[in-house]
Each structure stands twice: as structure tokens, then as C-alpha cells.
A and B are shown apart, each in its own frame.
Chain A
Amino acid sequence: MIQTEDVASHFRTYAVIAHLFASCNAMPKSNLWFIEAYFMIFVLLITAPVSHSNAWHSYYFAQSALQQGHTIKTFFYGNGVEVANRLLCPAQDALNLSQLWQQLATEYHLELAVCVAAALRRGISDAENSHRHHLQGDNLAQGFSLTGLGTLTELLLTSDRTLSFVG
């Protein structure tokens, strides 16, 4: 059972980490440097599966950074895609990471990008891809979207900081 206290202490830790990452931005680039220097675009490259603590670290980092006004863009790749499976059903006394991401996405209008190739080879598909590949049924969780690796490249090229949560 995860206690509220643990979550609160998590939150404090991640708030500090997000602040440290943002404040190490070196040179002002424009007249708006006092805004740009603080609010950053973080790209989170998440390859840790739900069973790995790094998958949770990525969520708590995103939550803290968003609460501080930073921009978060996520890309689920490798075993990280399994969080996008809507049939995930953890035990009653455990948290559902998939639902937590969905709530965060709704609140902050996040795009939860998932690599389509990585998802399909792990048995995660949306209606469109199931139709294209003649698969029975689909299981992509709401709020997540399947996309190509071109999206990852675009995200990496437009980020101020890229953080990998590997597992």
C-alpha cells in the first residue's frame, strides 16, 4: 500500500530535481531570458516498463515539472510502451500508472506519444493499426497515441532538456 506521505515526499524530491534542471540553463538567448531561463521544455524518453521504478520516476517528474509551469513532452519507447495497454489491471492495493498518466494528460493537455513499432511488437495496438495488420481487437489506452519515430526526433530536436527514464 502506498501511503499519502510517500507521495508527498516524492513530490518534494521531484520538485527539487525539476528546479535544478531548469536553473542550470546557462545563457540568456533573448529579451525574454528571465522567462525562458526558467520555463523549459522537457522531453521525457521513457523506456522503463511499469514494473520498473524509473517508469514511476518519469511520472512524478512530469507531475512536478508541470505544476511548476514547465512544458513536458513524453515519448514512450521500448518496454515503456506497456503503460499504454488499457488491459493493465494491477492488484487492488496498487496504483495504476496508466490511469495516472491519463489524469495528468487531461489536466495539462499532454500528448502521450507512444512508438507504434515498439507497441505493435509488444502486442499493443489501436483500432486503425489492428485493421491494417488484421489483428483481432485493440487495446491502446485512452489519452495515448501511436506515432512514428519521426516524432521522437522532432521532440529531441526541440527540447531544452531531454531526460531518459530507462529500464
Chain B
Amino acid sequence: MKNALFIQHHAPYQGYQAQETLDALLVMAAFGQNPSVLFQGDGVWQLVANQQPKHIGRASILAQLQALSLYDVERVYVDTFSLQQRGLTLDDITIDAQAITAQELAHFIHQHDMIIRL
């Protein structure tokens, strides 16, 4: 088994990158591979409440992210420095995610065999 890390670093509705990274993550989880996902950079906006994507004809990515544990994605992380830079705190995010600090980041990423960052 390869230890895969998916990095979500795109804002939720800027292009399809966030959705497509999530889709790839869910399929890998469905294969029983226990992948990790890290929200970093503008990717942390995916976790913020009160998204209204209907106005641009899109489905809510947050609704899918809130169901990650149902899809056997248990290892969910958020980069606290990315939150800080955007004036957000852990209280603003609406899913269960483990905090990773700037100091821990390099070591955390290095623990994985494969990084998928679209």
C-alpha cells in the first residue's frame, strides 16, 4: 500500500481543480488505500461555512467534504498558517481536521510516499 497525500490548495469554485482533486481522493479511498488530505493555501476556503455555489450553477463541495468519513477518508489535515494568513481560525472550519503547523509541515509531507497536488 502506498501512503498517498492529496493537497487541496485551490479555492472551492475557481475552476474544477478542487472538485477533481476530491474525486480522485474519494476513488483512492474506495480502493481501501487510506489516503490523507491536506487543506493548504486557498484550499482552506473549501472548509468555510455559508457557501452558495448554486448561483454559479455548481454543487457544494463542502457538503461532500463533510461526508469524508463516510467515504473512509479519516486522515484530514489543515495547515494552520494558511488559515492565519487569511484571517481564519480552526473555529471557522466546518469539518473535523487535524491542525498542522508551519514547523510540522515539511516533516508531515515527507511521511508520505506520493503527493498528488493538482
- Interface membership of A145, Cβ < 8 A: no
For chain A, the count of residues having a C-beta within 8 Å of the partner chain is 19
User: Given A78-B118, A157-B2, A166-B117, do A150 and B27 touch, yes or no (CB 8 Å)?
Assistant: yes
Are A153 and B31 interface neighbours, CB within 8 A? yes
Q: Which of B16-24, B44-52, B60-68, B84-92 contacts A (4 or more CB under 8 A)?
A: B16-24
The smallest C-beta distance from A152 to any residue of chain B, in angstroms, reads: 6
B109 at the interface (CB under 8 A from A): no
Quote the shortest CB–CB distance from B8 to chain A (angstroms).
Answer: 13
Within 8 A of B (CB), among A114-167: 115, 117-118, 121, 148-150, 152-153, 156-157, 162, 164, 166
Residues of chain A contacted by B1 (CB below 8 angstroms): 157
CB of B2 within 8 A of CB of A156, answer yes
Q: Measured between alpha carbons, how far is A80 from B83 in the docked complex, in Å? A: 30
**CB atoms of B23 and A157 under 8 A apart:** no
Q: Which of B2, B16, B27, B116 contacts A118 (CB 8 A)?
A: B16
Question: Which of B15, B27, B117 has the most A CB atoms < 10 Å from its CB?
Answer: B27
- Residues in B lying within 8 Å of A, measured CB to CB: 1-2, 4, 15-17, 20, 23-24, 27-28, 31, 33, 114, 116-118
